[in-house]
């Protein structure tokens, strides 16, 4: 019998606005208006400012480890803007803060999270998102479950989940993709391919030429977009969100971007990255091309830039003040939040926290009750 | 907290003229799930072979017909996948029941069930609970070999944030599964494949069994025997045998090991001065070790003999029928331990 082809596929790369802020007219349909671009540009700067300050907070010992988002804001904002705030559900990892803020998370929550205060993970009423997820890849399955719940309850909502290129090596990624595909849930997988998983470059992480092609195995519509191009990200994300909402199932987006900063504040990428590569990507910063575009449209200039920078600084200073002004968590919290209701085992532990034992009876071994503050 | 008295002479409940309906352990589980699902449309059952095939052990027989494919769902062979999906669904307000064909297979889902499920509520400052019931076959005895005979309670009970229920009979199985489904915390519900055909009286009336309250199955002043799950039945056999020799023991069925009703154990030890813990896990860092530790910490002065443990042997589970039987706790080992604690060996 002659052999015949049973499957062929192609991955498209989508770019609407290039590094110089020039829009490809043929691609510009169904993207953003100039007013929207201006607003999102301003918002992007505010997020960048928070990111820079968060880094400084860590360096000055006022916060724990922090993974900078710098350079990846277009992928976060473009996708989040394509989803309906207060309705669609975001399931993040930790490098898309801008998406979370856009959907209503107060900025100081992210600072609280990295200061180790679990209250930074208490999502406010009406905000549709899960807290940051630090283990690699686990959140994609949670997103699949949430999207599955939308389908089961017949709610017209879409879930969007974020992860990096490294996460696509995890079993969780493949299991989530398979479940989402088999059950046809309303979910958009957004891979921020920032080229580096700590010190491992993408080409050592996978032999695949694109991340997007991994979705072919799950028969999902899949795209590679310029992740630093706000318009391209938005255009494709909108298509995926709309399809999911109308019952068309899950999609996959590979947003090609770059981690301009270290993996986290505990990392020093200079030890393993070629500075020329970083320089090249600095020129592709989403803020630069948006500014160029807006300037050619006479919607932006140096005076406006200076004024906006001052405004961002003031907003972020206020955010830091709010986060640092919140009273430190109480020792009781670690017991109170372990179960829905405190059980006798933990009640005893709460009283006898001087030892690591569940069973110590203070009256028998002569221990005083644990003081609240050491 | 006193243990619930459930002695043979009392019957499992006053039958007062009603018919003593006897059903299998698997039917009790099915009734618990079906009754709860009729009342609460947030509940669904997902797992391998649970729908079309009616469950690998026929626990979900007929449930697809009653509830349809949106609530009784066959999943791909992907334990980590459906465990993680359940986390998301639960966080969004559904009430998943996840069947692991065997708890042995839950090991590939360890990151979701140990690293996510029990920590969600804590890490979100009390906001995002994870009310999932994970249930399935646990433990050796069915000649399933080393890799399929896991007793996960020793390993999993180390993790704070989950509740672990291990029923020893059909009556408890139904009442405890209902409690599990209604619970706002995640529950690991461990069934023994060897007991699924066991029959006992299970009333048709509505009842639930509270967590953290042991049942006293036999009463005696000579020694305290503590167990949970299938080995409770071996303890009762041992108690009946020992009685003939004039030795009377308390048999405490813990029902849940997280939370652990240590107070009932201590009450019994105060009376008997002796304790034997029977546990079908390996001995090292086991639930039995934990019980003994807590008894030593909180009840050392009451002991007249060092605490003893009857666990499986500390080796991978043998496949050969004769070896597996010898490897597990059994009546003879329990009797020997009780006699040793009484100095009557």
pLDDT of residue B17: 46
Catalytic residue numbers of A read: 259, 263, 272
Tell me, yes or no, if B92 comes closer than 8 A to chain A by beta carbon.
Answer: yes
Separation between Cα atoms, residue A195 and residue A203, nearest integer Å: 8
- HSE toward the beta carbon, residue B163, CA cutoff 13 A: 33
Per-residue pLDDT of chain B (345 residues), as tens digits, is: 589 988 887 765 544 445 679 999 999 999 999 999 999 999 999 999 999 999 999 999 999 999 999 999 999 999 999 999 999 999 999 999 999 999 999 999 999 999 999 999 999 989 989 999 999 999 998 899 999 999 999 999 999 999 999 999 999 999 999 999 999 999 999 999 999 999 999 999 999 999 999 999 999 999 999 999 999 999 999 999 999 999 999 999 999 999 999 999 999 999 999 999 999 999 999 999 999 999 998 899 999 999 999 999 999 999 999 999 999 999 999 999 999 999 997
Separation between Cα atoms, residue A251 and residue A294, nearest integer Å: 31
pLDDT of residue A30: 87
Q: Is the peptide bond preceding residue B259 cis, with omega within 30 degrees of 0?
A: yes
Domains of chain A plus CATH, in order, are 13-325 (3.40.50.970), 332-365 (no CATH)
Question: In B, which residues are within 8 Å of A340 by CB distance?
Answer: 121, 129, 183-185
Q: How close B303 comes to chain A (CA, Å)?
A: 15
**Domain spans, chain B:** 18-203, 215-341
Query: Where are the alpha helices (H) located in B92-211, listed in sequence order?
Result: 110, 120-123, 153-156, 170-182
pLDDT of residue B19: 62
Separation between Cα atoms, residue A176 and residue A185, nearest integer Å: 11
Say if the Cβ atoms of A135 and B111 lie within 8 Å.
Answer: yes
Q: In this predicted model, what pLDDT tens digit does every residue of A47-59 receive, in sequence order?
A: 999 999 999 999 9
Question: In A, which residues are within 8 Å of B293 by CB distance?
Answer: 357, 359
Report how far Cα A78 is from the mean position of its chain's Cα atoms.
12
Query: Region A350-367: what's the mean pLDDT?
Result: 58
CATH topology of domain B18-203: Rossmann fold (3.40.50)
Residue B31 tokens read as 């009734």
| Residue in chain B lying closest to A122 (CA) | B124
Query: Region A285-289: what's the mean pLDDT?
Result: 97
Give yes or no for residue A370 having a pLDDT over 60. Answer: no
pTM: 0.94
Which of A17-21, A227-231, B154-158, B294-298 shows the lowest per-residue confidence on average (mean pLDDT)? B294-298
**For testing the chain B interface, which of A118, A181, A359, A367 should be mutated: the one with the most B CBs within 10 Å?**
A359
Q: Scan residues 300-359 of A and list those with Cβ closer than 8 Å to B.
A: 333-334, 336-341, 343-345, 357-359
Which of A212-221, A336-345, B96-105, B266-275 shows the lowest per-residue confidence on average (mean pLDDT)? A336-345
Q: Scan residues 136-165 of A and list those with Cβ closer than 8 Å to B.
A: 138, 140-150, 152
Catalytic residue among B27, B31, B99, B148: B148
Are residues A85 and A104 in contact, defined by beta-carbon separation less than 8 angstroms?
yes
Of B78, B93, B126, the CB nearest to A149: B93
pLDDT of residue B108: 96
Tell me, yes or no, if B14 comes closer than 8 A to chain A by beta carbon.
Answer: no
How many helical (H) and strand (E) elements, i.e. helices and strands, does chain A have?
14, 8
Separation between Cα atoms, residue B336 and residue B345, nearest integer Å: 7
Q: CA-based Rg of chain B, rounded to a whole angstrom?
A: 20
Residues in chain B: 345
Separation between Cα atoms, residue A240 and residue A188, nearest integer Å: 7
Q: Scan residues 99-128 of A and list those with Cβ closer than 8 Å to B.
A: 117-123
Of A122, A149, A339, the CB nearest to B124: A122
pLDDT of residue A78: 98
Tell me, yes or no, if B251 comes closer than 8 A to chain A by beta carbon.
Answer: no
Q: Report in angstroms the alpha-carbon separations of B28 from A14, A76, B131, B174, B175.
A: 57, 49, 21, 5, 9
Say if the Cβ atoms of B76 and A340 lie within 8 Å.
Answer: no
Q: Is B310 helix (H, G, I), strand (E, B) or coil?
A: strand
Bigger pLDDT: A90 vs B8: A90
Say if the Cβ atoms of B88 and A91 lie within 8 Å.
Answer: yes
Say if the Cβ atoms of B128 and A360 lie within 8 Å.
Answer: no
Q: How close B193 comes to chain A (CA, Å)?
A: 28
Separation between Cα atoms, residue A267 and residue A59, nearest integer Å: 12
CATH topology of domain B215-341: Rossmann fold (3.40.50)
Confidence of residue A331 (pLDDT cuts 50, 70, 90): confident
* Domain B18-203 matches domain B215-341 at the CATH topology level: yes
Confidence of residue A355 (pLDDT cuts 50, 70, 90): low
pLDDT of residue B18: 52
Question: In A, which residues are within 8 Å of B160 by CB distance?
Answer: 338
Mean pLDDT value across chain A: 93
Say if the Cβ atoms of B298 and A361 lie within 8 Å.
Answer: yes
């Amino acid at each position: 019998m002659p052999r015949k082809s049973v499957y062929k596929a192609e991955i498209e790369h989508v770019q609407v606005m290039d590094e110089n802020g020039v829009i490809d007219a043929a691609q510009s349909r169904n993207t953003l208006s100039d007013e929207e671009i201006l607003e999102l540009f301003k918002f992007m700067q505010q997020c960048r400012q928070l990111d820079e300050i968060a880094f400084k907070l860590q360096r000055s010992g006022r916060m724990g480890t922090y993974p900078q988002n710098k350079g990846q804001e277009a992928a976060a904002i473009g996708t989040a803007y394509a989803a309906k705030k207060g309705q669609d559900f975001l399931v993040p990892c930790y490098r898309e803060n801008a998406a979370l803020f856009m959907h209503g998370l107060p900025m100081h929550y992210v600072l609280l999270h990295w200061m180790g205060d679990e209250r930074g993970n208490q999502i406010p009423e009406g905000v549709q998102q899960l807290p940051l997820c630090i283990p690699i890849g686990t959140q994609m399955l949670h997103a699949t479950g949430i999207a599955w719940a939308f389908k089961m309850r017949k709610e017209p909502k879409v879930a969007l989940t974020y992860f990096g290129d490294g996460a696509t090596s995890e079993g969780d990624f493949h299991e989530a993709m398979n479940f989402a595909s088999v059950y046809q849930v309303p979910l958009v997988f957004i891979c921020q391919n920032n080229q580096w998983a700590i010190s491992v470059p993408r080409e050592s992480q996978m032999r695949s030429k694109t991340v997007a092609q991994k979705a072919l195995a799950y028969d999902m519509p899949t795209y590679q977009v310029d992740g630093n191009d706000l318009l391209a990200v938005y255009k494709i994300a909108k298509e995926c969100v709309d399809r999911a909402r109308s019952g068309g199932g899950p999609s996959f987006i590979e947003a090609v971007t770059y981690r301009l900063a270290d993996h986290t504040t505990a990392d020093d990428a200079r030890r393993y990255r070629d500075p020329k590569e970083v320089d090249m990507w600095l020129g592709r910063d989403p803020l630069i091309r948006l500014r160029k575009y807006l300037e050619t449209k006479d919607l932006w200039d140096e005076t406006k830039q200076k004024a906006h920078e001052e405004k961002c600084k003031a907003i972020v200073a206020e955010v830091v003040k709010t986060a640092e002004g919140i009273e430190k968590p109480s020792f009781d919290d670690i017991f109170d939040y372990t179960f829905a209701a405190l059980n006798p085992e933990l009640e005893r532990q709460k009283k006898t926290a001087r030892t690591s034992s569940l069973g110590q009876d203070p009256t028998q071994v002569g221990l005083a009750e644990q003081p609240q503050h050491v | 907290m006193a243990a619930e008295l459930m002695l043979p002479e009392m019957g499992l409940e006053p039958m007062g003229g009603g018919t003593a309906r006897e059903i299998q352990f698997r039917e009790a589980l099915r009734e618990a799930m079906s009754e709860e699902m009729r009342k609460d449309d947030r509940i669904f059952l997902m797992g391998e072979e649970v729908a079309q095939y009616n469950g690998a052990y026929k626990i979900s027989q007929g449930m697809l017909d009653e509830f349809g494919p949106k609530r009784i769902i066959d999943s791909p062979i992907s334990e980590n996948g459906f465990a993680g999906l359940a986390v998301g669904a639960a966080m969004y307000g559904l009430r998943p029941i996840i069947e692991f064909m065997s708890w042995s297979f839950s090991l590939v889902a360890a990151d979701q069930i140990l690293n996510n499920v029990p920590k969600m509520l804590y890490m979100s400052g009390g906001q995002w609970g994870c009310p999932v019931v994970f249930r399935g076959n646990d433990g050796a005895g069915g000649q399933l070999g080393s890799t399929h005979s896991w007793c996960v309670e020793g390993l999993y009970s180390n993790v704070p944030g989950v509740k672990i229920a291990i029923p020893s009979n059909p009556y408890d199985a139904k009442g405890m599964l209902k409690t599990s489904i209604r619970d706002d915390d995640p529950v690991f519900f461990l069934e023994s494949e060897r007991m699924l055909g066991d029959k006992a009286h299970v009333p048709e009336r509505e009842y639930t069994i509270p967590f953290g309250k042991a049942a006293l199955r036999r009463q005696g002043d000579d020694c305290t025997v503590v167990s949970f799950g299938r080995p409770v039945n071996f303890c009762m056999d041992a108690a009946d045998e020992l009685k003939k020799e004039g030795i009377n023991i308390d048999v405490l069925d813990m029902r849940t090991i997280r939370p652990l009703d240590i107070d009932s154990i201590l009450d019994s030890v105060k009376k008997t001065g002796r304790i034997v813990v029977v546990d079908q896990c390996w001995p090292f860092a086991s639930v039995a070790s934990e019980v003994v530790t807590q008894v030593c910490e909180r009840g050392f002065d009451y002991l007249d003999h060092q605490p003893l443990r009857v666990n499986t042997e500390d080796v991978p589970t043998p496949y050969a029928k004769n070896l597996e039987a010898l490897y597990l706790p059994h009546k003879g080992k329990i009797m020997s331990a009780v006699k040793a604690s009484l100095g009557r060996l």
